[in-house]
């Protein structure tokens, strides 16, 4: 994991991610910046169009700092209303990624069961946040090497710390899950 960096921001809003991204030096080029769409903004009063527009701004900032941008769609949720909005956001993100030549990763294939229900084995008891197994699957979907210190960074950021955790690396995942 030489030159690998993780910046996990549990509970962050899209605007927080954009601020963190724009504070990165432009001359510091990454191979890939991975942005994970979380559920915090889905719970706010923003429309799915506004959320997608905010992500388009993040993708533009990312293109100045990396050779490639990867956007992971918001993970499935058990809440029906939130899930309907999530599907609309993900559809918009898929199109936005095509428009700016970014890679979109659909998480539904690995986070939903065949019957369409959320696989609760990937979540902790609150039914919203990812378990260690869920984090491993998310990282695998993003082609991020599964190393203990990387998965710990995501888990620690969500449950123990409110400050970013950084590791050296080839990719720079931003997350607000």
Listed in sequence order, the residues at least 6 apart from 109 whose beta carbon sits closer than 8 Å to its beta carbon are none
Q: What's residue 4's pLDDT?
A: 59
Taking residue 163's Cβ as centre, other Cβ atoms within 10 Å add up to 9
Q: What's residue 21's pLDDT?
A: 84
Which residues of the chain are under the pLDDT cut of 50?
1-2, 148, 151-152, 155-177
Rounded to whole angstroms, how far apart are CA atoms 106 and 71? 9
Q: Are strands 30-36 and 66-72 parallel, antiparallel or unpaired?
A: parallel
* CB contact at 8 A, 172 and 36: no
């Amino acid at each position: 994991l030489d030159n690998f960096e993780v910046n996990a921001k549990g509970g962050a809003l899209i605007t927080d991610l954009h601020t963190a991204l724009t504070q990165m030096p432009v001359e510091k080029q990454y191979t890939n910046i991975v942005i994970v769409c979380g559920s915090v903004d889905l719970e706010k009063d923003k429309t799915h169009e506004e959320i997608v527009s905010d992500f388009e701004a993040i993708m533009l900032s990312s293109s100045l700092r990396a050779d490639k941008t990867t956007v992971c769609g918001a993970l499935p949720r058990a809440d029906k209303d939130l899930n309907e909005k999530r599907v609309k956001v993900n559809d918009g993100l898929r199109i936005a990624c095509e428009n700016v030549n970014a890679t979109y990763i659909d998480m539904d294939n690995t986070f939903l069961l065949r019957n369409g229900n959320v696989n609760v084995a990937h979540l902790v008891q609150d039914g919203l946040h990812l378990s260690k197994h869920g984090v491993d699957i998310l990282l695998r979907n993003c082609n991020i090497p599964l190393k203990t210190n990387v998965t710990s960074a995501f888990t620690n950021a969500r449950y123990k710390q409110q400050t970013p955790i950084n590791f050296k690396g080839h990719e720079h995942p931003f997350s607000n899950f």
